[in-house]
Amino acid sequence: MTETDQPVIEIRDLHKAYGALEVLKGVSISAKRGDVVSLIGSSGSGKSTLLRCCNLLEDSQQGDVVFCGEPVAWKGSGATRHPADPKQVIRIRTNLSMVFQQFNLWAHMTILENVMEAPVTVLGRETAEMDALGRKLLEKVGIGDKCDVYPAQLSGGQQQRAAIARGLAMEPKALLFDEPTSALDPELEQEVVKVIKDLATEGRTMLIVTHDMRLAADVSDYVVFLHQGRIEEEGPPDQLFGAPKSTRLQQFLSATQAH
């Protein structure tokens, strides 16, 4: 299997429960290099949990998480299952940058310092090198003039773009977006959507949890509709949005169009 054929992220038959509440009931997804896969579905369908299991922020009880052909090693089973090798977890997380709904920028650091922090402290990159790369990335997401300001001085859309630049600074193999636009006003949302679209055209591997159906339709190679912890329907965006087969997906799409 060539590197292009091998999925960057592969999830097989994943199960996740919080006590008696089953959130994921055997979900399998994969993203090859350059694939943009969007996860859609109503609140509580398991989308964000699936993303957090990918990044090992949450432990799943059953199933496999495989990153670039390397399966996560587990110990324990069921409710006590957790990753066996902390070094492997760090290695995988370092290659998967997560962009959260709430930006999660460090308030006491400038925007440029926020972007530089992880590569310098985690990857041991040179400060001067990261200063140059950080400025370039902030330029790329359209806020090159904001290097020396603090997060509180930026709009939500600018903070989210800074968070994307911070994710890119790790030079990850894939980017994970958890509702990247849902905390933003429609106007600011478009700034972030533009950045995500640009990243998609560059051929970056991305998993995007989104409530924005237009974004999912525009940037995705593949869309997965989750319903109550299972994949109800999946396929290319034109098929899912243009000719949805399942009644549940039809209902979901007509409800989102009504807003």
> For the segment 114-133, what is each residue's pLDDT rounded down to a tens digit?
999 999 998 899 999 999 99
Do 169 and 116 meet the contact criterion of CB atoms below 8 Å apart? yes
- The model carries a pTM of 0.91
Mean pLDDT computed over every residue of the chain: 92
- Domains in the chain (CATH in brackets) are 7-258 (3.40.50.300)
Alpha-carbon torsion 171, 54, 11, 250, what sign? negative
| Helical residues (DSSP H) of the chain, grouped into ranges | 47-54, 86-95, 111-121, 127-140, 156-169, 186-201, 213-219, 237-242, 247-258
Residue 35 CA: distances (Å) to CA of 107, 144, 165, 208? 33, 28, 20, 11
209 - beta bridge partners?
39, 178
Q: What distance in Å separates the CA atoms of residue 171 and residue 152, rounded to the nearest whole number? A: 26
pLDDT band of residue 2 (cuts 50, 70, 90) is: low
**Greatest pairwise CA separation for the chain in angstroms:** 55
> For the segment 147-201, what is each residue's pLDDT rounded down to a tens digit?
999 999 999 899 999 999 999 999 999 999 999 888 788 888 888 889 999 998 8
For residue 225, which amino acid is it? F
Q: What distance in Å separates the CA atoms of residue 146 and residue 164, rounded to the nearest whole number? A: 14
